[in-house]
Amino acid sequence: MGAGSCDDGWRVERACALAWPARDEVAVGGWRVSRSGGGTRRANSASPADADAQTDDATIAAIRDAYAAVAQPVIVRVPTLMPAVDALLDRHGFAPAEGHTLTIACDAPPRRGDDAVRLSTVPDAAWIAARRALSVAAWGGAEDHLAPIGRLTVPAVFAALEAEGAVRSLAFAAVHDGVAIVEAVATDAAWRGRGLARRNVSALLHATAAVGAHCAALQVMADNLPARALYRAIGFDRHLYDYHYRRSPA
């Protein structure tokens, strides 16, 4: 991976959107209004598509209408790439920020792969079963954390590490416009602290570099200090931008 692609926050934003696609998305004034039936915030929130997204009262009204049409709550995702959005949402009575998340990047892949990590271009049954089980254990709503994977339209690589006959740690990376977006990093609680997640993510960086990714990025909750330490140790040492969510009162 060479430097360059991840210097552009909006390029990373576009890749992130394709790495976790919504069930339904409508365009409103330069915003992507993602609607997936409720549940997780990321696939059920409105995000600016680029720096030209409109930030006016009419756009907020249209976003509200788009969610009202499918009986979903109105959630707006606010990247620090567009700081003026918060003042607009304040005027419209949106709740305070929640879900503060960092977007971080890595330029240099590992020099070699890890033969023990099982890599594939589609998730197999064992990967899907492990993802479902780990989602229920950590967050609940397993299908909310599986359905976007089935909607991917960009190339992806899936990684898994097995122990004692089962997948104990997994992740995947989707590639768009030279950027690999690392997603769904999870490890069975009983197997944490053994370096499994680090090995999976490192294997993904190596594999996606081989198919044209120039850099990698991922998004991690700001308060998830263990994960942040893990990613920093792997090489995700560039802080690109943040985002948070704002909810409209019912």
149-185 residue pLDDT tens: 999 999 999 999 999 999 999 999 999 999 999 999 9
pLDDT of residue 112: 77
- In 185-220, which positions are buried (b, 16+ CB within 10 angstroms) versus exposed (e)? bbbbeebeeeebbbbbbbbbbbbbbeeebbbbbbbb
DSSP label at residue 224: -
> Per-residue pLDDT for 2 more than 60?
no
CA 145 to centroid of chain Cα atoms: 11
Hey, how many other C-beta atoms are within 10 angstroms of the C-beta on 87? 9
Which of 103, 106, 110, 101 shows the shortest CA–CA distance to 236?
A: 106
Burial class (CB in 10 A: 0-12, 13-18, 19+), 165: exposed
Stretch 87-106: mean pLDDT: 97
Alpha-carbon distance of 169 to 117, in angstroms, equals: 10
Which contiguous run of DSSP H or E holds residue 147? helix 147-150
Average pLDDT over the chain, rounded to whole?
Answer: 93
Confidence at residue 4, expressed as pLDDT on a 0 to 100 scale: 52
Q: Could you give the CA distance from residue 205 to residue 199 in angstroms, rounded to a whole number?
A: 10
> What mean pLDDT is predicted for residues 70-97?
97
108: amino acid identity, one letter: A
Dihedral, CA of residue 4, residue 5, residue 8 and residue 11, to nearest 10 = 170
Q: Are 74 and 248 in contact (CB under 8 A)?
A: yes
**pLDDT (0 to 100) of residue 134:** 87
pTM above 0.85, yes or no: yes
Residues facing residue 77 across a β-bridge:
245
Token reading at 169: 């740690």
- Mean pLDDT for 222-244 is 96
On the question of pLDDT at 121 being above 60, the answer is: yes
Helices (H) and strands (E) in the chain, counts: 7, 11
